[in-house]
Amino acid sequence: MALAVLSGSTALAAPDAGQPERKGAAGHPAAHKARSGASQKQATPQQEQIVATARRSRSEQSVGRVEMQRLLPGINPVKALEILPGVIYNDADPWGNNEQNASLFIHGFNQNQLGYTLDGVPLGDQSYGNYNGLSPQRAGISENMAAASVATGAGALGTASTSNLGGTLQFLTQDPLHHAGGQLNQTFGSFSTFRTFARVDTGDFGNGNSAYISWARQDARAWDFAGHQGGNQVNLKFLHQGERDKLTYFFDWSDKVEPNEDSITLPSGYGLYKRPFTYPNFAYAESYINSAAYKAAGLNYRNYYSDAQREDFLTYLAWSHDFSDALHWNTQFYYHHDLGEGVVAGPITAAGLPALFSAYYPGQDLNTVFGGSQYATRTTEYWDNRGGVQTALTYHLGNHTMEVGGWYERNNNTQARRWYALDASDPTSPYDRQQNALVDQYTNNFYTNTFVTHLQDSWQISKAFTLNAGFKSELVYTNGTLPVAAIPGSLSPANAVTVPGGTIAAVKPFLPAFGAVWNFTKHEQWFANIQENMRSFQAAGYGNATPWGVTSQVAFNNFKNNGEPETAWAYETGFRTHGRRLDLGPLTGIDGQLEYYHVHYSNRLIAVSTTQVLSSIIGSATILTNVGSVDTDGMDFSFTAQFGPHFSFYNALSYNKSVYNDNYVTGSTVVHTAGRNVAGNPAWAEKFVATTTWGPFYGQFTGDVIGKRYATYTNDLWASPYALFGVNAGYTIRGIPHVAALKVQGNITNLTNDRGWSTISTTQASGQFTAYPIMPRMYFLTLSASF
């Protein structure tokens, strides 16, 4: 039988060589008359793999539930993937939850150029400015995740994404358990961390039905000021498993507030390591604004506070049906609502703000207008309603496994920029929703219709060799409108405007994919894959790299008529070994993969600023510019070595060379980027996990070494390499009355308390960039009881 190596769902482990992969509801692999995912027998800690490698025509690796929660209970599943080769993730907190300063690179592509799904539901392109999705940790509670998977070269044709120029990240939630029971976790730790997770499973309650409901609450103080990160989240999942049908319903509610970190502007800020907010000491904030320290700080002045507020509702209903052993149908309906805002409370004298405010309040005393505190509060407010349907039909005919599928989504989203008073007599906090805007600067509404279809065939030519081919068609139509336009003189430069916009289509009717798998031994396999992908335009306005962020309606119309969406061809090939048992002294087994890849990325679009950006709080008018192409070559090598029943060592080494092919022009200046390395992406990265297991005890020592990263397109500035280490250890106690298991786990992050730059904000200009510090060493203790 053929391996469905181009199938639309994610494998959590290598499928049996003699069985095709079957798709169940919500994108899970499924077998006829059998439950899938977490409802199968759970692996014991001794059986848990650090990384599971799918045996596909593309590189695809997964991190399971047990390992995710060992790395840190409650971890963002994206951060858990940083142990994989080719995945570079940075964030300002140990869980990886802070979205404002998170960064992700995979094979030279950044986080907005990748694809993301949860149980098959599209999560958008992970922009901090929400417009078409939400982050995985807001879509599902970390402790409910069954697995996180990444295809580093190119995702499956059936992946519901129109942003995946490079790879795709797929996340699976656990199914309900067969038996009734519960779980209660409590984490304590550094900086007043207090995280609670509770879950109740119904077990099977007749006719193949089961369900669970769970709740998580997290509160943790920011490590460099007195703000608190956290919120509440609820998940519910229902499963009906019939003879030929599987019905799945999932619901997620997430409400959280994350005070952000402020970056350091370099090189002027060398000597600084953090830039903490002055909140909640408002008296100090008022004295600071009049101090010599504020005047001397330049772009590294201290704001009163900044935060991201997000409330999300996500739900889906999935149905899969076996018409016969050969014909399978899978359909899913989903809906997502987001209401959020990003907030910065800062000085009204910051560069450019007096001109902006004077356009709305000419001749007036701006300090009086904004509440007498010398501060104003800026928001970017988000409102997003999107829903869609996916369907796929799979047919097994002889040595062929054919699939045809489609995805439709309707997305209505709004982004507004507003300014509020910060009243000296009643100052707001990061946890307040702002009310009664003084300046409604501009508002963009977007209406996007997405149509994606795919067709593929996997042909098993012989027992050992499989070829596959297919294509997808992407048609994305976005209509951007401007119900509130910025008034003349309120933008930078003063003659800039917000454009009325219109409809632009990103259309590629034929995006092909080809692959092959050769099982040349029982354990060893060669694979190869070639695929083209397209990234649709982001639905965002002024100051963004989108057609609706340009400087005039003429520029918009010109791009509409002549602009092209970004595309990329990804080529990958490699060898993997799976389940190879050895008798070489202490070495008793090995699994591994060696991969070479090449990517050609065309029509690279960036927003070229028309003026120097003096302060990120102002922004600048931009011209959407096609700056040519990028070529990438690289290799990933990973293996897990087993040393008897008690020790294993996982290691991942990555090399990436991503190079700009062209110079470009900004104004009358040529920016010499041809031959330069892609900014933000390190050439070398090394990760490892050393594990020991002795019955109920386990321990791990982890490492993440990231090489030099260029911070500017011209490569004149860079962030130095860094190495972060961590340890975790746990012990499970059984035999307690009424408690199935009691587990105690300890974690230490950034074990050596190293200092350096985590996320860097890459820039076009030479001579300046911004960076965020690495969080200090932190300690955590988790108690977990299952019933």
Predicted confidence (pLDDT) per residue in 223-256, tens digit? 998 889 999 999 999 999 999 999 999 999 999 9
Q: Is 17 part of any domain? A: no
Q: Is 231 part of any domain? A: yes
pLDDT the model gives residue 5:
32
What pLDDT, in 10s, does the model give residues 672-712?
999 999 999 999 999 999 999 999 999 999 999 999 999 99
**What number is the average pLDDT over the span 176-181?**
96
pLDDT the model gives residue 512:
97
The pLDDT of residue 621 is above 80: no
Angstrom distance (rounded) from CA 376 to CA 742: 50
Backbone angles phi, psi at 283, to 5 degrees: -60, -40
- What confidence category does residue 48 fall into, taking pLDDT thresholds of 50, 70 and 90? low
Q: Is 48 part of any domain? A: yes
**Proportion of the chain above pLDDT 70, given as a percent:** 92
Q: Is 13 part of any domain? A: no
The average confidence (pLDDT) of the chain is 91
pLDDT the model gives residue 269:
85
In the chain, how long is the greatest CA-to-CA distance? 84
The pLDDT of residue 495 is above 90: no
Model pTM? Answer: 0.93
The pLDDT of residue 42 is above 90: no
What pLDDT, in 10s, does the model give residues 14-25?
333 333 333 433
Q: Is 6 part of any domain? A: no
Angstrom distance (rounded) from CA 425 to CA 510: 61
For 91-154, strand residue ranges (E) read: 103-106, 109-110, 115-118, 121-122, 145-151
- What the block records as the tokens of 295 is 């005047």
Report which of 190, 208, 176, 170 is spatially closest to residue 72, judged by C-alpha positions: 190
The pLDDT of residue 90 is above 80: yes
The pLDDT of residue 613 is above 60: no
What is the domain-level CATH number for residue 671? 2.40.170.20
What pLDDT, in 10s, does the model give residues 388-397?
999 999 999 9
pLDDT the model gives residue 612:
54
The set of residues, in sequence order, having a beta carbon less than 8 Å from that of 657 and lying 6+ positions away, is 632, 633, 634, 677, 683
More confident of the two residues 37 and 706: 706
The pLDDT of residue 2 is above 60: no
The pLDDT of residue 522 is above 80: yes
pLDDT the model gives residue 487:
94
Report which of 453, 332, 450, 335 is spatially closest to residue 28, judged by C-alpha positions: 332
Angstrom distance (rounded) from CA 339 to CA 415: 10
What pLDDT, in 10s, does the model give residues 272-329?
999 999 999 999 999 999 999 999 999 999 999 999 999 999 999 999 999 999 999 9
More confident of the two residues 667 and 402: 402
**Containing structural domain, residue 58:** 25-786
Question: Do 698 and 729 meet the contact criterion of CB atoms below 8 Å apart?
Answer: yes
SS3 of 197-265: EEEEECCCCCCCEEEEEEEEEEEEECCCCCCEEEEEEEEEEEEEECCCEEEEEEEEEEEEEEECCCCEE
How many domains are there within the chain?
Answer: 1
Question: Do 165 and 601 meet the contact criterion of CB atoms below 8 Å apart?
Answer: yes
What pLDDT, in 10s, does the model give residues 726-753?
999 999 999 999 999 999 999 999 999 9
What pLDDT, in 10s, does the model give residues 758-774?
999 888 777 889 999 99
The pLDDT of residue 32 is above 80: no
What are the helix and strand counts (H, E) for the chain? 8, 40
Q: Which residues of 205-223 are buried (b: 16+ CB within 10 A; e: fewer)?
A: eeeebbbbbbbbebebbbb
Question: Do 575 and 525 meet the contact criterion of CB atoms below 8 Å apart?
Answer: yes
pLDDT the model gives residue 365:
96
pLDDT the model gives residue 693:
97
pLDDT the model gives residue 15:
33
The pLDDT of residue 484 is above 50: yes
For 348-438, strand residue ranges (E) read: 375-397, 400-421
**What number is the average pLDDT over the span 594-616?**
82
- What confidence category does residue 611 fall into, taking pLDDT thresholds of 50, 70 and 90? low
Report which of 150, 158, 199 is spatially closest to residue 175, judged by C-alpha positions: 199
- What confidence category does residue 8 fall into, taking pLDDT thresholds of 50, 70 and 90? very low
Question: Do 555 and 623 meet the contact criterion of CB atoms below 8 Å apart?
Answer: yes
pLDDT the model gives residue 28:
40
- CA dihedral over 599, 603, 606, 608, signed as positive or negative: positive
- What confidence category does residue 129 fall into, taking pLDDT thresholds of 50, 70 and 90? confident
Q: Is 611 part of any domain? A: yes
pLDDT the model gives residue 353:
92
pLDDT the model gives residue 47:
45
Q: How far is CA 735 from the centre of its chain?
A: 40
Q: Is 15 part of any domain? A: no
**What number is the average pLDDT over the span 562-581?**
95
Q: Is 9 part of any domain? A: no
What pLDDT, in 10s, does the model give residues 50-80?
888 888 899 999 999 999 999 999 999 999 9
